[in-house]
Amino acid sequence: MSVTPKYLTGDKAAIQEFLDKYDVFLFDCDGVLWSGDLIFEGTVETLEMLRQKGKQVVFVTNNSTKSRADYKKKLATLGIPADIEEIFSSSYSASIYISRILSLPPTKRKVFVLGESGIEQELTAESVPFIGGTDPSYNRTITPADYGQIVSGDRSLIDPEVGVVLVGLDFHINYLKLALAYHYIQRGAVFLATNVDSTLPNAGSLFPGAGTISAPLVKMLGGREPVSLGKPSQAMMEAVCGKFRFERGRACMVGDRLDTDIRFGIEGGLGGTLAVLTGVNSKDDFLRGEVRPAAYVDGLKDLLEGA
Amino acid sequence: MSVTPKYLTGDKAAIQEFLDKYDVFLFDCDGVLWSGDLIFEGTVETLEMLRQKGKQVVFVTNNSTKSRADYKKKLATLGIPADIEEIFSSSYSASIYISRILSLPPTKRKVFVLGESGIEQELTAESVPFIGGTDPSYNRTITPADYGQIVSGDRSLIDPEVGVVLVGLDFHINYLKLALAYHYIQRGAVFLATNVDSTLPNAGSLFPGAGTISAPLVKMLGGREPVSLGKPSQAMMEAVCGKFRFERGRACMVGDRLDTDIRFGIEGGLGGTLAVLTGVNSKDDFLRGEVRPAAYVDGLKDLLEGA
């Protein structure tokens, strides 16, 4: 992608032309609409403006710690009205992939989860059985006895029905869980990740993302990466397009990250990509990156000038 | 390295010729002398045989969870007499590197440790101040308030004197510690690892090694690796050779891992390398690997035939 991204901020005509080109806007959330728990000025008004223009708005997030229901609640708290069907989280995408696309043998249908309740809720909604996750019995230090029991496949630690290891962001990651995940994979479990973002924006800086929870396993597996169901994986794009049946050429992906959001839009063959400077990547990244957005603005609210 | 490794097991003449070539034997421990807490049959006798032939024996281990004193105790428990000076652990190697080689400004001399007591003991022996490590106050879940405090450099969480992040095997790894380590590195701390082994052999299988504790940070740092002070790092070889002042051509490295032990011996210009089949790598690895030992045996005890 050697095009130079178009800078739209302050250019009313260019913004109007940009808005007219699309019927659907897919939004990354964190870094675009808000940062952590702080909503950006103008977010609510911008989304409202788009809806008034008759645009379809879709929220596409790699945050696996929340379910779609959690997200709807978060959006409401911040003053953003949204329907649950407009929300696509990586935990939802992963759950759909497991329940509808993976062909698991009947005796291997259980998922060992490294992650938070968002994954659990979406797996439950798809009737996929799971262990691990937020179960507090896993929040402990590994003991000398555990090693032998894990290796021998003792039922107290190793569930023979586990056929999938699903890794998302886990604020309770520990050595025992990593050891169990590795042994399930070595026993043949499919290695999936909700997403592999290296970092998670919070408090104006970066913290470990979901990719840091799968990284130890990738290291142990000699570099073998999980199948990721979050952006930029096209599994998520298929789910979004399957639901709304829009024309891809009339859709635009809006995000702050080149390697997830912008790549997601480009590889999905969307009509456009818009990057914002309120998140992870910088203007320099946009102008010189290997992956480049078609256009960029300082912040989402700059689109209001095209109202 | 396209030589074909020589198989010595059962070949008395070849073993005797092999033993005669060296005055010094550097031994990896786990996977060579023992596995986990189980000593291999013939280990004690083989080491005794070598000592009786006047060979210098050195124990070189990447296990950072133990100090040299801990190792001497472990060796004694297993019936292997050893002097503390014969033991080189990656925690010792890292401590020497920090205290004697790194030129840290006087206000940045503290080390943030991700690891166990072996590292703490060796840092203490070298009078290097540290925080983190086994301090139980770090064994907790990250809280919403932590994010802002870490970012703002609040003294309750961020110590401005930290100039080094040292990562070893940490059985108590958690999200908070990873977040702190990342922020110290972003604030300019030197990123070191005792070693970056991907796996740790135990109970006849593999568990997460020290490299899985640094892997999340490497992921967050866009692929930037720590300076590793364990095998195959030549920092450790310099320390070993500096102490014993032996002729490298008359020394042989004995180990089970191609990517650490055998590479360590080859890159260190030792006269020979001997691989054993009681650890991580297989015969196929030895014969077809990118890095290959000069010779290999089924197990260390096979050398007894050359007594």
Find where tokens 């364990």 sit: B230
The answer to whether residue A148 is domain-embedded is yes
The C-alpha atoms of residue B75 and residue B40 are separated, in whole angstroms, by: 13
Task: Answer for the pair A91, A119: CB distance below 8 angstroms, yes or no.
Answer: yes
**Whole-angstrom distance, CA of residue A120 vs CA of residue B127:** 48
The number of folded domains in chain A is 2
A236/A224 same-domain check: no
Q: Looking at the predicted structure, is the pLDDT value of residue B2 above 70?
A: no
* Interface contact A158, partner B, CB < 8 A: no
Q: Residue B1 domain-assigned?
A: no
Mean pLDDT of the region B46-73: 96
Supply the ipTM of this predicted assembly.
Answer: 0.91
B151 touches chain A (CB under 8 A): yes
On whether any CB of chain A is under 8 Å from the CB of B150, the answer is yes
The yes-or-no answer on residue B28 being catalytic is yes
What's residue B1's pLDDT? Answer: 47
Of the three residues B208, B228, B248, the one that is the final residue of a domain is: B228
- Between CA B194 and CA B15 the distance in angstroms is 34
Are B180 and A120 in contact by the 8 Å Cβ rule? The answer is: no
As a whole number, mean pLDDT of residues B295-300 equals: 98
For chain B, the average pLDDT equals: 95
Domain-terminating residue out of A228, A250, A277: A228
**Does the structure show a pLDDT above 70 at B235?**
yes
Among partner residues A141, A151, A215, which is closest to B215 by beta-carbon distance?
A215
> How many Å apart are CA A212 and CA B176, to the nearest integer?
13
Give the per-residue pLDDT at A100: 87
- CA angle at A32 for the pair A26 and A34, rounded to the nearest 5°: 125
Q: How far is B255 from chain A (nearest CA, A)?
A: 19
For the cut 50, the answer to whether the pLDDT of residue A1 exceeds it is: no
Say what the pLDDT of residue B203 is.
85
Please tell me whether residues A170 and A223 are part of one structural domain. Answer: yes
Shortest distance between the Cα of B65 and any Cα of chain A, in A, equals: 14
Each residue's pLDDT tens digit, B239-256: 888 888 899 999 999 999
Please give the pLDDT value at position A2.
57
pLDDT for A239: 81
Residue B130 to residue B110: CA distance in whole angstroms: 5
Q: What is the pLDDT of residue B97?
A: 92
Determine whether the interchain pair B216/A220 forms a contact, defined as Cβ–Cβ distance below 8 Å: no
Asked whether residue A167 falls in the same domain as residue A113, the answer is yes
Distance CA B264, CA B267 (A): 5
The number of residues in chain A equals 307
- In a domain? residue B98: no
**Chain A residues 184-203 with CB within 8 Å of chain B:** 186, 198-199, 202-203
- Nearest-Å Rg of the Cα atoms of chain B is 20
A224 and A109 together in one domain: yes
Whether B65 contacts B198, CB under 8 Å: no
The answer as to whether A88 is a domain residue is no
Domain of A144 in residue numbering reads as 105-228
What pLDDT, on a 0 to 100 scale, did the predictor assign at position A235? 85
Mean pLDDT for B256-272 is 96
Shared domain check, A224 and A109: yes
Q: Which of B172, B212, B260 best probes binding to A when mutated, by most A CB atoms within 10 angstroms? A: B212
- Boundary (domain end) residue, out of A193, A228, A263: A228
Q: Which of A20, A30, A83, A170 is catalytic?
A: A30
A117–chain B Cβ distance below 8 A for any pair: no
| Statement to judge: residues A216 and A240 lie in one domain | no
Instruction: Tell me whether the omega of the peptide bond preceding residue B129 falls within 30 degrees of 0, making it cis.
Output: no
Local confidence band at A225 (pLDDT 50, 70, 90 cut-offs): very high
Instruction: Indicate whether B212 and B240 sit together in one domain.
Output: no
Measured between CB atoms, does B69 come within 8 Å of chain A?
A: no
Report pLDDT for B242: 81
Please check whether residues A214 and A292 belong to one and the same domain. Answer: no
For the beta carbon of residue B287, count every other beta carbon within 10 angstroms. Answer: 13
Residue pair A162/A29 in contact (Cβ under 8 Å)? The answer is: no
CATH of the domain at A38: 3.40.50.1000
Before B232, cis peptide (omega within 30)?
yes
Which pLDDT score, from 0 to 100, does residue B129 have? 98
| A36, pLDDT greater than 80 | no
Confirm whether B78 is domain-assigned. no
Looking at the complex, report in whole angstroms how far the Cα of residue A207 sits from the nearest Cα belonging to chain B.
Answer: 6
